[in-house]
Each structure stands twice: as structure tokens, then as C-alpha cells.
Amino acid sequence: MSTPAENTTYEQASARLEEIIARLDSGKAELRETLELCREAKGLIELCRDELAAVSGALKELNLDELVEQLETSASPEGPPDNT
């Protein structure tokens, strides 16, 4: 069974998945090759899922919405609200 290498990037995994899909869609893959391609695709999909989850979590930690709100507030002509 072919599994993605430990240093495979999201972009590489995504490109390989496109190749696998094209091969399966062509109808030219024999039975055993189809099985191997499906196994490889499963590993690549899991890698992509994990990468997306990691990036999503990291973006949430950055609190980008709060940063944008702060920038918009400080850039407004009135300046920040007066809390007196």
C-alpha cells in the first residue's frame, strides 16, 4: 500500500490526488491498480484534511477578526471610541 511520505506538502498531495482521479476517470486502470490508487488517495485525503485542520486552528489562534476590527477602529476618522 502506498502512503504519502512524511514530508509531502498539501500542494503535492492535492496535485497527486488530481492525477489519481484522472487515472480512475480514464477507465484504463485495471482492478489491482484501482485498489492501490484508492488506498493511496485515502492517505492523501487524510493528509490534506489534517493540514487544513492545522492551518484552520492556527488561523483561529491569530484572532484575525479582532485584529481587523482593531485596525478599522483605529483607522476611522473619529478614532477609537471614547469610553469615558
Q: Residue 27 has which C-alpha cell?
A: 477507465
| Radius of gyration, CA atoms only, the chain | 22
Per residue in 20-63, pLDDT (tens digit) is 999 999 999 999 999 999 999 999 999 999 999 999 988 888 88
Neighbours of 61 (CB within 10 A): 8
- Domain extent listing, the chain: 10-75
As given in the structure block, the three cell numbers for residue 65 are: 477578526
Whole-model pTM above 0.85? no
14 CB-near residues (< 8 Å, 6+ apart):
44, 48
pLDDT at 80 over 70: no
